[in-house]
Amino acid sequence: MTKLHDQISRRTVLGGGAALAATLAMPGVLRAQEPKSVKIGILQPVTGNLAQDGELGRTGAEYAIKAVNDAGGIPSLGGATLEMVFGDARSTPEGGTAEVERMQSEGVAGIVGGFASPICLASSQAAARYDLPYVVDVGVSDKIVQRDLSNTFRFGPGFGTCSKTAIENLVKLNEAAGKPARTVVLVHEDGLFGSGLAKLMATELPKYGFEIFETIAHPTPARDMSNVALRIRSLKPDLIIPSSYYGETVLLMRTLYQQRVRPMGYYSVLNGAASNMRFVKEFPEIANLDMDCNHWHDPRKEEAIQLKKAVEDAGGLWAYNIPLNYSCVKLLADAIDRAGSVEPKAINEALAASTFEGHVMPYGPTKFDKGQNTGAAPVSLQVQDETIKVIYPEEFADAKPVFPISG
């Protein structure tokens, strides 16, 4: 009986399969008219002040598109391949919105990128008019996900999460070393990003027993950091916390090094230099043991290691923009696959319900709450042996922190 039951069961299954194939064949006729590729918009500032970051973001997106296509494209759309529609945001919000309009008219299924918060804010708003799915790659301003836009999703962590984690990790670091550091000087660029971060640090750090000696703002671009270095030299803080863009941070640290300022540590948050391999390569001595709390890939994931190797073998430099954009494009591809269509509404719903795990970031399970991935968090990094290592949280770490570095 059991045997007979099995046979029937198998037949039923086979029959069911045949019926399914027949049903699929009908829409298959219709689907023959559908494009064999799905266009996705990649928006990055590749000219203007943010061009360096934009190029890195584009690199990550290109690798992801290639990875998705090599793995057979979008299965639910008959293996349709991803086709990149690239837009240069020209480092301005207006540049970003103009490109969103163009991408929409070219029929993209969704957009990934933006990099800077102002560009992400404006571009996702422009995309919202068409309900066009928009995945923010970096833009940390928390306003991005506080507007109840049903099309905007941020895969990475926001400003609040980043600064909270940064402070927690700093306190942990200091306590583990026997609380050697007590005094701090904050140096920040005077824009939205640097000022916001410095203000938060100045309120939060005293709660953990740190004394803020001084908060020094500087413009971008800064032509000279001698006076900032001069003041820091006279204050002799234990810790220096810079939040500036790449050029200024490098200039500051070079000047401080020259002025023989040797603090117990440099600890920055979302800084442009401390987690950029160019700095490590050009000034290994100065970058050594520099710490940063930032986005970074999961050093334990094989796919991340392979991606890093591929980028470096092609002569590129590794930075967080690459794995973030790589992951965001794969996230969108996964949503398109689950939606089984290129309809904006269906993709938005698929993104909102996403539990995507095929990314290369050190995040918990993907779960969007009002557009923000609640599983996202930054990690603390330190330059060790002329490369960048993860030191916190322990479960993702590939090195032990070295602190204090002097004094």
Partner 1 sequence: MYSPDIIIEALLNGLLTGAIYALVALGLTLVYGVLHIINFAHGALLAAAMFAVLLINQLFGVDPYVQIPFLTVIFFAVGYGLQRLIIGPASHGRDENILLVTLGLSIVIENLLLAGFGSDTRSLNTDYSFNVYEVGPYLLSQVRVFGAAGALVTAALLWLFLSRSDTGKAIRAVAREKIGASLQGIDVAHVYAVTFGLGCACLAVAACLLLPTFYVNPKIGSAFVLVAFTIVVLGGMGSIVGAMLGGLIIGVVESMSGLFLGESLGQIGIFVIFILTLLLRPTGLFGAKA
Residues lying near partner 1 in the complex (CB under 8 A) are found at 46-49, 51-52, 54-55, 190, 216-219, 221-224, 226-228, 230-231, 234, 246-247, 250-251, 254-255, 257-260, 278, 282-283, 317
Tokens found for residue 282: 């050009």
Both tokens of residue 322? 């690459």
CB of 76 to partner 1, least distance (A): 37
* Beta strands, E only, 163-307: 183-189, 211-218, 239-243, 265-269, 291-294
Q: State the CB neighbour count (10 A cutoff) for residue 316.
A: 16
**Which amino acid is present at 235?**
L
Residue type, 69: N
Residues 368, 148 contacting (CB under 8 angstroms): no
Cα end-to-end span (Å), the chain: 82
Greatest extent of the chain over all pairs of C-alpha atoms, in Å: 91
Provide, rounded to whole angstroms, the least separation between the CB of residue 227 and partner 1.
Answer: 5
Closest approach of partner 1 to the CB of residue 219, in Å:
5
CB of 263 to partner 1, least distance (A): 16
Shortest distance in whole angstroms from residue 250 CB to partner 1: 6
Query: How many CA atoms are closer than 13 Å to the CA of 210, on its beta-carbon side?
Result: 26
Nearer to partner 1, 230 or 289 (CB): 230
Between residues 61 and 331, which has the closer beta carbon with respect to partner 1?
Answer: 61
Instruction: Give the span between the Cα atoms of 180 and 184, in whole angstroms.
Output: 12
Beta bridge partners, 219, equal none
In the complex, the smallest distance separating the C-beta of residue 389 from partner 1, rounded to whole angstroms, is 22
Rounded CA-CA distance 42/68 in Å is: 15
Query: Is-contact 102 113, C-beta < 8 A?
Result: no
Cβ distance to partner 1 smaller for residue 312 or 357 = 312
> What are the distances in angstroms from CA 378 to CA 199, 296, 356, 396?
20, 7, 18, 11
Complex with partner 1: residue 66 or 278, whichever CB lies closer: 278
- CA dihedral sign of residues 13, 19, 22, 26: negative
d(CA 227, CA 231): 6
Which residue's CB is nearer to partner 1, number 319 or number 331?
319
CB of 115 to partner 1, least distance (A): 12
Minimum distance between the CB of residue 257 and partner 1, rounded to whole angstroms?
A: 6
Q: Which is nearer to partner 1, 69 or 220 (CB)?
A: 220
Cβ 201 to partner 1, closest distance in Å?
Answer: 17
Q: What type of residue sits at position 266?
A: Y
Nearer to partner 1, 118 or 299 (CB): 118
Which residue blocks in 71-116 are alpha helix, DSSP H?
93-105
- Min dist CB 39 to partner 1, Å, is 25
126 or 270: CB nearest partner 1: 270
Reading phi first (left if > 0) and then psi (alpha if -120 to 50, else beta), residue 341 is in beta
DSSP alpha helix (H) spans, 265-391: 277-282, 284-287, 302-313, 321-339, 344-352
Of 89 and 173, which CB lies nearer to partner 1 in the complex structure? 89
Tokens (6 digits) for 172: 């942990």
Taking the least distance from each CB to partner 1, the nearer of 115 and 368 is 115
